[in-house]
A and B are shown apart, each in its own frame.
Chain A
Amino acid sequence: MTNDTTAPAIELKGISKAFGPVQANKDISIRVMPGTIHGIIGENGAGKSTLMSILYGFYKADKGEIFIGGHKTEIPDSQAAIAAGIGMVFQHFKLVENFTVLENIILGAEDGRLLKPSLAKARKSLLELAAEYELNVDPDALIEEIGVGMQQRVEILKALYRQADILILDEPTGVLTPSEADQLFRILGRLREEGKTIILITHKLREIMEATDTVSVMRRGEMTATVKTADTSPEELAELMVGRKVLLQVDKTPPTLGDVVLDVQNLRVVDEQGVERLKSISLNVRAGEILGIAGVAGNGQSELLEVLGGYADGTGSVTLNGEAIDLTGKYSDGKTRRACGIAHVPEDRQREGLIMDYSAWENTAFGYHDDPAYQSGIFINNTAIRQDTEEKMARFDVRPPNPHLSAKNFSGGNQQKIVLAREIERNPDLLLIGQPTRGVDIGAIEFIHQQIVALRDQGKAILLVSVELEEILSLSDRVAVMFDGHIMGERAVGETDEKELGLMMAGVET
């Protein structure tokens, strides 16, 4: 493949970048050889995206040099990056929804003022590219009508059309089903064979192990190690990422099932645009059980949590411990849900679970601010809430344990712990929990998973929604797969595997 005499495709030397007091990148050096897939792994906020943004010309490094193919290169903007042969596939695609594939591909790279000749020319080279890299797409399909996996191919083709030799993919599998992810990795392998260099940014250890040749680990803005993938293990990488040993497996005993706590029958949700988001779904959760809802984001899981959490309207029947719950009207809001024993850790803690400008103690009362223990006369008893917060912070190991700090000043994991402490310590009969570890560092993931299992072991019912199939499989006792507003099917965790669930997530009946 490579030897020491070839120049690296990309070499970064001593890159540093600070945002105000935050040192996002600290003296980072990295060499990526041509024709390899190089993984960059690190927790959220480790500085991966900043580093790639510097490489793509979005930020200017405070210090350091960039060499492309052995030549020192200045990259002041993305045009320069493209000219240097760098293509970027963003986590959130930058495509015009109501344009065709072809129109999206030439967008910004049109030749001349007239569209028609450049479209014709682009069509020809697009078909050539597609054949060369086995990246089949229909040039005339509208973006909004093709699937996410296809859209990602368009993004890759866009980069290749601009003659990129180096492709950077930022968390490319976040929106894909497992089989789509497998396809992506096949495509990446094919690109590598053709001599392209690929940088894969991810926080998923499995992808690194499967797809990359070498891997660099980032922690708190620093590059802690660069190793050959073949010489390392997921455990070692996790330790490098976190800085201490972590348990990747969840320890749990078989469940002790009780009565049905949550029973949902024919639940429908129609959104404001009149689109049916939940198409008559039925499910139940028993005491002492974790029901995992698997599925690619946007297939109705969010709506399920919203309607059960009381802030979206629905029709159908939902009972909690046999008592019917209002799904619309005056007695259908977060407060009434909490009063009847439903706690909710929402999917998006920054938009819903927390008020980012509120201090930790104000957030600890959030949603439960009616609690008589938090009142004194007509006023809120700030002292009582603060004390309660200090105790919760100690029990959930929130760092720093300062109730006066705004929520926005905590890391993702600690924010999640604040929400979790608030909801779990209410001792609910049913806990709704969405994406419990999204944007949470590995060290905190371990702790959060333990808390969820502990609540189950106390005989509580838990409805877990996650787009991370691994998380669903390691936590749940039973899995239901959602696709396009339906429940595709339910499986006991012992009787299924990622492959079967992956097919169900893609809407294939099994």
Chain B
Amino acid sequence: MDVMPKWAEVVLVPLISLLLAAILSGLVILAIGEDPIAALKLMIDGALGSTYGWGYTLYYATNFMFTGLAVSVAFHARLFNIGGEGQAMLGGLGVALACLIIPWPHWSLGLLGAIVLAGAFGAVWAAVPAYLQAKRGSHIVITTIMFNFIAAAVLNYMLVNVLRPKGAMDPATARFPEAVHLPSLHDILAPIGISFSKAAPANVSLLVAIIACVLVWLLIWRTKLGYEIRAYGHSESAAKYAGISPVKITMIAMIISGALAGMMAINNVMGEAERLVLNATEGAGFIGIAVALMGRSHPLGVFIAAILFGFLYQGGAELALWTSIPRELIVVIQALVILFTGALDNMVRMPLERIFLALRKEGN
């Protein structure tokens, strides 16, 4: 039998990890002479205290949902896709091409076109390392990391030499046409009588991300393909016995993963910047790894973890803005959360298991 009840496994472990990370972060803030309680209050106020704050938190969370799902899908096939960053960059290129080349009559069609192209670009970018892994045995961690650098270089080249409008001084595309402007949460919520901040960047992509969470859940737990992906992830030898092709699963899982990472671009490129700039991804591809780890590769977990990291991002930005806590320290806090929820999982799990064991013995 499992040692811990499921709720403890899913809720208690991450919660305690989070608490430990918070305490340690508090100590660090204390050490540089600031008040941790005030800092926490500022973070919460800044990220969740207004619809403006929520708008930013949800905007970041949308990015993390896509990249978190991307890492999760690959992880179910025991493939560690570190290349979400590069795949999201290429997705941005796809979005930019979709928006700039095709004259969309309506944003909804433009969004569909952008999703397809962003997904396709991300998928292709993931397919190459997948092929090298499946056919040549090149380790996917190494190749996807390297592909992040290649993606950055490709984007640089495209923005400087191909997509930059004549006479423009910065490496960015032209602004996308008004027709593909995505409705923000303000636009969506206003008709039903909820007033939401006009300035916040959260947009209709959030709904796409939530739909993606549901679809990934269906894929992984309700379809034959998901069954095969998980089977391969649990045991390659058993998968071979059953006649599940490792090459096929590696390719498909990575293509889906890359497509999801690429789709992030509809949020940051199409929804927010409305043009493609250098470093549009801002590390969201890497945060996706932490989100997937914390969310246990489950879409619901990814959804919640993405919002948490959105909060950390937005709250951290507020902290940097209003206090003398340097921006670097925000990164430290985020790193602590990643460390505790992702890497140091067993540190919390083992004592908890012991407690539950003792409780059960007493109960008997």
Instruction: Decide yes or no whether B227 CB sits under 8 A from chain A.
Output: yes
Task: Find the B residue at minimum CB distance from A346.
Answer: B241
CA distance A346 to B238 in the complex (A): 10
Instruction: Decide yes or no whether B218 CB sits under 8 A from chain A.
Output: yes
CA distance A93 to B222 in the complex (A): 45
**Partner among A337, A346, A362, A375 whose Cβ is within 8 Å of the Cβ of B243:** A337
B243 near A334 with CB under 8 A, answer: yes
Known contacts A333-B243, A334-B240: does B223 contact A351 (CB below 8 Å)?
no
Instruction: Decide yes or no whether B234 CB sits under 8 A from chain A.
Output: yes
Known contacts A310-B243, A334-B241, A334-B242: does B231 contact A358 (CB below 8 Å)?
yes
**Partner among B223, B231, B244 whose Cβ is within 8 Å of the Cβ of A378:** B223
Known contacts A20-B3, A351-B235, A352-B237: does B242 contact A366 (CB below 8 Å)?
yes
Instruction: Decide yes or no whether B102 CB sits under 8 A from chain A.
Output: no
**Which residues B117-162 have CB closer than 8 A to chain A?**
none
Task: Find the B residue at minimum CB distance from A378.
Answer: B223
Chain B residues, CB < 8 A from A438? none
Instruction: Decide yes or no whether B179 CB sits under 8 A from chain A.
Output: no
- A361 → B minimal CB distance (Å): 11
What are the interface flags for A351-380 relative to B under an 8 Å C-beta threshold, 1 for contact and 0 otherwise? 111111110001001110110000100111
Known contacts A369-B228, A380-B227: does B243 contact A353 (CB below 8 Å)?
no
Instruction: Decide yes or no whether B1 CB sits under 8 A from chain A.
Output: yes
Chain B residues, CB < 8 A from A365? 227
Known contacts A369-B227, A379-B222, A380-B224: does B241 contact A353 (CB below 8 Å)?
yes
Chain B residues, CB < 8 A from A348? 237
Chain A residues, CB < 8 A from B1? 21, 409
Task: Find the B residue at minimum CB distance from A354.
Answer: B238
- B52 → A minimal CB distance (Å): 41
Instruction: Decide yes or no whether B195 CB sits under 8 A from chain A.
Output: no
Known contacts A21-B1, A362-B227, A369-B224: does B241 contact A352 (CB below 8 Å)?
yes
What are the interface flags for B231-251 relative to A under an 8 Å C-beta threshold, 1 for contact and 0 otherwise? 100110110111111000000
Instruction: Decide yes or no whether B357 CB sits under 8 A from chain A.
Output: yes
Chain B residues, CB < 8 A from A409? 1-2
Known contacts A333-B245, A378-B223, A380-B227: does B234 contact A357 (CB below 8 Å)?
yes
Known contacts A369-B228, A409-B1: does B223 contact A20 (CB below 8 Å)?
no
CA distance A360 to B223 in the complex (A): 18
A358 near B3 with CB under 8 A, answer: no
Known contacts A20-B3, A344-B241, A379-B222: does B234 contact A356 (CB below 8 Å)?
yes
B228 near A353 with CB under 8 A, answer: no
Known contacts A333-B243, A333-B245, A355-B231: does B238 contact A366 (CB below 8 Å)?
yes
- B231 → A minimal CB distance (Å): 6
Chain B residues, CB < 8 A from A367? 241-243
A375 near B238 with CB under 8 A, answer: no
B224 near A370 with CB under 8 A, answer: yes
B238 near A352 with CB under 8 A, answer: yes
Chain B residues, CB < 8 A from A338? 243
**Partner among B222, B244, B360 whose Cβ is within 8 Å of the Cβ of A21:** B360
Chain A residues, CB < 8 A from B234? 355-358
Chain A residues, CB < 8 A from B241? 309, 311, 334, 344, 346, 352-353, 367
- B114 → A minimal CB distance (Å): 25
**Which residues B333-364 have CB closer than 8 A to chain A?**
353, 357, 360
What are the interface flags for A308-332 relative to B under an 8 Å C-beta threshold, 1 for contact and 0 otherwise? 0111000000000000000000000
**Partner among B218, B244, B353 whose Cβ is within 8 Å of the Cβ of A379:** B218
**Partner among B2, B243, B357 whose Cβ is within 8 Å of the Cβ of A335:** B243
CA distance A358 to B244 in the complex (A): 16
- B78 → A minimal CB distance (Å): 11
CA distance A385 to B228 in the complex (A): 15
- A51 → B minimal CB distance (Å): 22
Chain A residues, CB < 8 A from B353? 20
B224 near A336 with CB under 8 A, answer: no
A336 near B243 with CB under 8 A, answer: yes
Known contacts A337-B243, A366-B231, A366-B242: does B3 contact A21 (CB below 8 Å)?
yes
Chain A residues, CB < 8 A from B218? 379
- B223 → A minimal CB distance (Å): 6
Task: Find the B residue at minimum CB distance from A368.
Answer: B242
- A348 → B minimal CB distance (Å): 8
B223 near A380 with CB under 8 A, answer: yes
Most buried by B among A355, A356, A365: A355
CA distance A380 to B3 in the complex (A): 29
CA distance A13 to B300 in the complex (A): 52
CA distance A405 to B242 in the complex (A): 21
Task: Find the A residue at minimum CB distance from B228.
Answer: A369
A356 near B235 with CB under 8 A, answer: yes
**Which residues B74-88 have CB closer than 8 A to chain A?**
none
Chain B residues, CB < 8 A from A20? 3, 353, 357
CA distance A378 to B218 in the complex (A): 10
CA distance A114 to B228 in the complex (A): 56
Chain A residues, CB < 8 A from B243? 310-311, 333-338, 367
Chain B residues, CB < 8 A from A351? 235, 237-238
Chain A residues, CB < 8 A from B222? 379-380, 382
Chain B residues, CB < 8 A from A357? 234
Task: Find the B residue at minimum CB distance from A405.
Answer: B1
Task: Find the A residue at minimum CB distance from B239.
Answer: A355
- B129 → A minimal CB distance (Å): 23
CA distance A409 to B2 in the complex (A): 8
- A415 → B minimal CB distance (Å): 12
Chain A residues, CB < 8 A from B230? 358
Chain B residues, CB < 8 A from A353? 238, 241
- B315 → A minimal CB distance (Å): 36
- A331 → B minimal CB distance (Å): 11
**Which residues A91-127 have CB closer than 8 A to chain B?**
none
CA distance A362 to B244 in the complex (A): 15
CA distance A336 to B228 in the complex (A): 16
Q: Given A344-B241, A358-B234, A379-B222, list of 13 further CB < 8 A pairs?
A: A21-B357, A309-B241, A310-B243, A311-B240, A311-B241, A333-B245, A335-B243, A336-B243, A337-B243, A346-B241, A369-B224, A380-B222, A409-B1
**Complex A-B: 19 CB contacts under 8 Å:** A21-B360, A309-B241, A334-B240, A334-B243, A337-B243, A352-B237, A353-B241, A357-B234, A358-B234, A362-B227, A366-B242, A367-B243, A369-B224, A369-B242, A370-B224, A375-B224, A378-B223, A380-B223, A380-B227
A-B pairs with lowest CB-CB distance, top 8:
A334-B243, A335-B243, A367-B242, A333-B243, A352-B241, A311-B240, A379-B222, A355-B234
Interface positions of B (Cβ within 8 A of A): 1-3, 218, 222-224, 227-228, 230-231, 234-235, 237-238, 240-245, 353, 357, 360
